[in-house]
Structure 1
Amino acid sequence: MKPKDLSEYLQFAIRNNFPVLITGKPGIGKSDIATQAAIAAEAELIISHPVVSDPTDYKGLPFPTKNGTADFLPYGELHQIITAQKKTVFFLDDLGQAPASVQAACMQLLLARQINGHQISDQVTFIAATNRREDKAAVSGLLEPVKSRFAAIVELEVDTDDWVKWALAHHMPTELIAFVRFRPELLDNFEPTKEIRNSPTPRTIAFVGKQITAGLPEKFEFEAFKGAAGEAFAIEYRAFLKLYRQLPSLEEIVLNPTGAPVPTEPGALFAISSALAHKMTDQNIDAICMYLDRLPVENSVSCMKDAVTRNSSICNNRAFIEWEASSAAGILI
């Protein structure tokens, strides 16, 4: 499933108490999507990490009673999901990395919804996430009985449009969004390796964006980008930034939309369309639409898509309506 579809499906699962397992490559947003789905479903969220847990965390500790026997005493997260009074998501992150003994303890929670005589609250929905064995993320696999306890096992796939919407909502740099539009294959370029280096994924590219937003000095850019998302990404992105920084200014385009230079290189076209989307307002949309008419349809449409994602009220502007009506590109919005 794409991120947007998975978020909607998880909300359905939360409303109906269906346990779901999310699989996928590292760094593609599994945990974030589960978190967003819980928020959208107006549920409390408890994030648990079985890989660093002990079986007793999910079973309780044996505690002596007055009659010479022992009961299991729930504590911590287990106590929370037993006593939950409102809709709650219990998110088991990186379940596939957990030892078999911990997975077995989780299995009883998932199916029987009780452990050692303690009933899990009907308000609790179990969601879990794991990488795959081929990702070299220390995943040994899941016990067969654990897998069958989930109502569905869903693999998350990377989607450029969904990532761009996320990036716009989280104030990622305009130039980074433009680069991902230009080179979408780099967004899903995870390469498992035993070497101590990163590769491009939604997570590592987001770290690039956060450093830029924080004011990363230009002299550190290459090493910082290389450390975040790998050397190949850093080389390409630095070349793109050099091109981006030579583009005509927004002021020049707004003042002279029919005469301002139009880039010819594909990368520059994606860069200028993303920059215009970021700056589009009700005051300058007329001039920008005139300039967009001079760009290839693909770039004109991507500009409007991003602008509408940032500010949906633009759709009510007369200039937008006329652009959509007069342009074949408009039907793609």
Structure 2
Amino acid sequence: MSDGTSNIPQVSIGEVIEKMSRLYTGVVKEHRSFRETPAPFLWGAPGVGKSEGVKQIADKLEQTTGKTVIVTDIRLALFSPIDLRGVPVADTERTFTVWLKPKILDLDPSGEVINLLFLDELSSAPPQVQAAAYQLTLDRQIGEHKLPENCLIMGAGNRSIDRSVTFRMPLALGNRLLHFEVKPDFEAWKKWAMRHHIHPWVVGFLGFDRRKLCKEELEAEQMAFPSPRSWSFVSNLLWILKDAKIEEIYTEIAACIGNSEAAEFVEWCKCQDALPDTEDIFHGRKTA
């Protein structure tokens, strides 16, 4: 069965950040409406950086527009269609039913604010909930609840080939979105890693073998595998357990990225640890 991503552009998360930031900055500076821009949807493997990319788009928009960007993260898989529309109650004259707005749609309409409504894991939501997203993505409302004019929408989800919980996206919803397949990109990840204090051994190892950044072809029962997310877990372990020898924390590392990748990483780190410091060589304290 096709995963539905064979006919869409493949981009790195860095390209997504650049393209969407440029588009939305243009909307603000040209005094256009966010209604004029279809909501982008990011397809990609678990941990490839889709959610982090949306946060970086928000940060970049703040820098380029001078506005405060508020990200509202909605995991639609946790909602029912009724949850999105709100709670039905009788009106004051007890003649009609009105719907109380759900708290997640209580967005700041201020002109100094941009609301970024992020529909994460949308492809994991059952069909009835995805159907409820039709009106939200195109008409920017659910029932009588309208989104403010300063609201933009983005979505993300896993592909069917990722062996995650996914439901086929209805074509009616798919045709309301801009589709991008996010592919692993070491250079974009490295820039992010340097800003977020990722351990030098992780950065060095992945620079040595960039293919290890993200494993896309997964076996059915493979729970631990390398991805930008799981490598950040490894980095945290290395900082926290900095006084332990690398071989002593092999098990914890393997729990993040799997046995085979952990074995390669640990052996690489042992070699790096055995190398003399270049400053010592330059100052004659070591010759080899």
1:25 to 45, 53, 57: 45
1:302 — aligned with what?
Answer: none
2:181 to 155, 177, 185: 155
Q: CA-to-partner distance for each residue in 1:48-79, whole Å, 9 max, x for gaps?
A: 10011121232222121133210122121123
- The letter of the residue matching 2:18 is E
Task: Give SS of 2:180's match.
Answer: strand
1:179 to 185, 190, 205: 205
- The alignment yields a C-alpha RMSD, in angstroms, of 2.0
Give the TM-score normalised by structure 1: 0.73
2:60 — aligned with what?
Answer: 40
Work out which of the two has the higher radius of gyration on C-alpha atoms and give 1 or 2: 1
**Structure 2 CA distance, aligned partners of 1:96 and 1:250?**
50
- The letter of the residue matching 2:17 is S
- The letter of the residue matching 1:22 is L
- Structure 2 residue runs without a partner (length 5+): 1-10, 28-33, 63-68
1:70 — aligned with what?
Answer: 97
Considering fraction of residues, name the structure with more strand: 2
Task: Give SS of 1:87's match.
Answer: strand
Is 1:255 the equivalent of 2:275?
no
- Structure 1 residue runs without a partner (length 5+): 262-333
1:199 to 218, 221, 225: 225
Is 1:235 the equivalent of 2:263?
yes
1:225 — aligned with what?
Answer: 253
Task: Check conservation: 1:187, 1:201, Cα contact below 8 A.
Answer: yes
Ranges of 4+ aligned residues in structure 1 off by more than 6 Å: none
Considering fraction of residues, name the structure with more helix: 1
**Structure 2 CA distance, aligned partners of 1:72 and 1:12?**
37
Using the TM superposition, give the Cα deviation of residue 254 of structure 1 relative to its aligned residue in structure 2, in angstroms: 3.7
Structure number with the bigger relative contact order (C-alpha 8 A, sep ≥ 6) is 2
Count of matched residue pairs: 258
Task: Check conservation: 1:57, 1:76, Cα contact below 8 A.
Answer: no
1:95 to 112, 122, 131: 122
1:190 — aligned with what?
Answer: 216
Task: Check conservation: 2:85, 2:102, Cα contact below 8 A.
Answer: no
2:5 — aligned with what?
Answer: none
Task: Give SS of 1:80's match.
Answer: coil
Tell me whether 89-98 or 183-192 shows the greater mean CA deviation.
Answer: 183-192
Give the TM-score normalised by structure 2: 0.84
**Structure 1 CA distance, aligned partners of 2:281 and 2:171?**
60
1:167 to 185, 188, 193: 193
